[in-house]
Amino acid sequence: MIDEAVLEFSAGSITLLNAILAVVMFSIAIDLKPSDFKTLARAPKPLVVGLVSQFIVLPVLTFLLVLATQPQASVALGLILVAACPGGNISNFITHRAGGNAALSVSMTAFATVGAVILTPLNIAFWGSLYAPSAEILRATAIDPVSVAITVSLMLIAPLILGVALNARRPDVTRKLRGPLQWISMGIFVGFVVIALASNWSLFLAFAGGIAGLVIAHNALGLAGGYATATLAGLSSFDRRAVTIETGIQNSGLGLVLIFGFFGGLGGMAIVAAFWGIWHAISGLALASLMSRKAAI
């Protein structure tokens, strides 16, 4: 039973994953300047639409998918948890490749990361409690929203502030760091996921086949939901590409940290997040390739 399976992940591995995600967030933050936030404050509509798509539309679509497919409890909660996370660490790179508004994408990642301190634990608790099987896991786990908020703050908010501050004070340094650091941090993260999967390969093979279809459908819903939300809001194609990708690319690394830190590495949840980490990169790059064929307006 996947609900009873537990993936092995040492305390040292959790610490390492936290550090990797902090570096990834720092590499995103050094693209931002305080003036970017002032610009968005003057014309906030694309950002607001993106955050609504990220934290309201995607969780609603996820819950509808769970109701339609009735997956096992840990799988359902894994889907809900991934949907509750902010945008993923490769969304900015993919948006740039798609010819979308990369500045909006980076800003969405930053604002969603700040909002995740409150919204991620709230979304997990709210939507997870509405599906009876996953509600049982939440009751047994007794997850503390304050602990989740502290984890998210230390791992994402602190490097975000440091990155923006460094870019404001020493743009010459961040200019040199930006390219190499983003590639290195992404490479280390992918390597870490591969090594973590290798150490649990038998469990992953046993259950991934049944989960793959759900994750692919979930990711497609995220991308379609982001596109539909941005279109209904009347955003330009330039901004619409950023919102679409930001909604469909989730921070599955954060999801894994929360799963191993608060849910004991519960098999269904961990395999959902790990498969998301692989699949959203494939689907995102494929979509970017299609989008880039036509210039955004």
Pairs from 138-145 (Cβ < 8 Å, separation ≥ 24)? 138/77, 141/262, 141/263, 143/262, 143/263, 144/262, 145/121
Q: What is the pTM of this model?
A: 0.82
- pLDDT at residue 35 is higher than 70: yes
Q: Residue 118: which pLDDT band, with cuts at 50, 70 and 90?
A: confident
- The residue type of 29 is A
Average pLDDT over residues 218-234: 95
Average pLDDT over residues 151-177: 82
Q: Residue 201: which pLDDT band, with cuts at 50, 70 and 90?
A: low
Q: With contact defined as beta carbons under 8 Å apart, do 263 and 269 qualify?
A: yes
Average pLDDT over all residues of the chain: 82
- pLDDT at residue 121 is higher than 80: yes
Q: What's the fold here for domain 11-290?
A: Na+/H+ antiporter like fold (1.20.1530)
Domain range list for the chain: 11-290
**What pLDDT score does 275 carry?**
81
| Bigger pLDDT: 165 vs 89 | 165
Task: Encode 107-163 in three state secondary structure.
Answer: HHHHHHHHHHHHHHHHHHHHHHHHCHHHHHHHHHHCCCHHHHHHHHHHHHHHHHHHH
Average pLDDT over residues 162-183: 83
| Most confidently modeled range among 37-41, 45-49, 157-161, 256-260 | 45-49
Q: Residue 142: which pLDDT band, with cuts at 50, 70 and 90?
A: low
| Bigger pLDDT: 17 vs 44 | 44
pLDDT digits (tens, 9 = 90+) for 36-90: 677 777 878 999 999 999 999 999 999 999 999 999 888 999 999 999 998 876 7
